[in-house]
Structures are given as structure tokens and as C-alpha cells.
Amino acid sequence: MKDKISVLIPEEEVNRRIRELGEEISRDFAGQSVHLICILKGSIFFTCELAKRITVPVTIDFMRVASYGDATTSSGIVRLSKDLDDTIEGKNVIVIEDIIDTGRTLTYLLGLLSQRKPKKLKLCTLLSKPARRVTKIDGDYTGFEIPDKFVVGFGLDYAEHYRNLPYIGVVDELGDERE
Ligand code: IMP
Ligand code: MG
């Protein structure tokens, strides 16, 4: 049997909200530039769409932190598996995340990045599950608050599958086969 996935946030709504976030960031950083940090792999689709909607000068770098295995529950163990290529000192840094769940990943990451003396350090997340939070953290820019359900699409995966879905879907039922 295949996994059963239903639409939680349709493609048009995701894109509309990303456009709004881009406008908000462009207003907040008018006359300046922003340095986006894309957290691999989940944030890659969001980062690309958001960057296209920002009208101030944009640079992009990548970082990879692993806090999940192939399961749907947080391990609580955060590991930095790819560091940035460029310095962030003196830059207006915006960390781009796909989802804040327990908040453990971002709490670790923001602590690490703040030591590198950015001019500003902001957090932008496409999704947030406030009900699951175990650390005090919130996005400066948040796309959607969602219920405590496991979601896929727009970069988010289940066991590395479904990142390419153009909408946010909920895994209603797990099968023994991925689509
Ligand atoms: P946190 O440290 O618990 O906040 O976990 C954040 C990371 O867990 C995200 O960057 C995702 O990779 C993953 N994650 C959390 N919730 C979901 C979900 O509903 N679907 C897919 N990945 C998720
Ligand atoms: Mg993941």
C-alpha cells in the first residue's frame, strides 16, 4: 500500500504567503542587504521562492544540521554536518528554516551563529508547530502555524521522500511504499 497524503496548505496559498514574507523582509531591510542562510535540505525550496520575492540585495549560503533520522519524532540530538562557506560577521543574517517543531535545532543553531558577530540575526520559517515546542524560540517571520501533524512537501520530507510536492501535505496513513 502507498502512503496516504492529503493537502494541508495548497500551492497557491504557500506561494502567496511567501510573497508576503518577501515583501515584509524587503521593507524591514530597505536600503540594506540580507544574507540568507538556507538550512539544508528542507529549506531549499522555500529559500529559492523567498529569495525571488526579496527586492533588496540578497546573498545566500548553506548549512546542514541533522536532528532527525528517518523517523517522524525528534531525536533531540543536533549535529552540524555542513558549515557555511562565508563569514557572517557584520551581515544582516536571516536563517531560513522549513519548520520549527520542538525548536531544538534552531536553538542550537542560533546560539552558534550569534557567536560569529552578525549585525542582525533573524529567523524566518515557513511552518511552525507551536504545540510541540520544548525551547523558547519563535520565528521573526513565520509563514504558517500548523497543528501537531507530520507534514511533507515544499522541501519537507518523510524518509527523504516528498520534498518535491508543490504543496504542504499531511501524511494521513503510512503505507509500505512511497509514491
Ligand atoms: P526541531 O529541532 O524539533 O524543531 O526539528 C526541526 C526539524 O525537524 C526540521 O528542520 C525538519 O527537518 C524536521 N521536522 C519537524 N517536523 C517535521 C514535519 O512535520 N515534517 C517533516 N520534517 C519535520
Ligand atoms: Mg527532515
Between CA 126 and CA 116 the distance in angstroms is 25
Tell me: pLDDT of 68 over 60: no
Q: What is the pLDDT of residue 174?
A: 86
Q: pLDDT confidence of 72, banded at 50, 70, 90?
A: low
Q: Which residue has the cell 517571520?
A: 141
Give the residue extent of every domain in the chain: 10-146
Residues of the chain above pLDDT 90, percent: 77
Q: Read off the pLDDT of residues 96-148 as tens digits, 9 standing for 90 and up.
A: 999 999 998 899 899 999 999 999 999 999 999 999 898 898 899 999 999 99
Centroid of chain to Cα 33 = 20
pLDDT at residue 38, as a whole number: 98
Q: What is the pLDDT of residue 79?
A: 80
Q: How far apart are CA 172 and CA 122, in angstroms?
A: 33
Angle between helices 11-28 and 44-52 (to 10 degrees): 60
* Predicted pLDDT of residue 98: 97
**Ligand 2 centroid – CA 141 distance (Å):** 20
Say yes or no: CB of residue 169 within 6 Å of ligand 1. Answer: no
Lowest mean pLDDT among 9-13, 59-63, 78-82, 100-104: 78-82
What CATH architecture is 10-146?
Answer: 3-Layer(aba) Sandwich (3.40)
Q: What is the pLDDT of residue 76?
A: 61
Which of 3, 72, 78, 156 for mutating ligand 1's site (highest number of atoms within 8 Å of CB)? 156
**Mean pLDDT, residues 79-103 taken together:** 95
β strands within 25-110, DSSP E: 34-40, 58-66, 79-82, 92-100
pLDDT in tens, 8-40: 999 999 999 999 999 999 999 999 999 999 999
Enumerate residues 6+ apart whose C-beta is below 8 A from 156.
42, 98, 99, 127, 162, 163, 168
Q: Give pLDDT, residue 75.
A: 59
pLDDT of residue 86: 97
pLDDT score, position 166: 97
Q: Which ligand 1 atom is at minimum distance from the Cα of 104?
A: 2
Instruction: Report pTM.
Output: 0.93
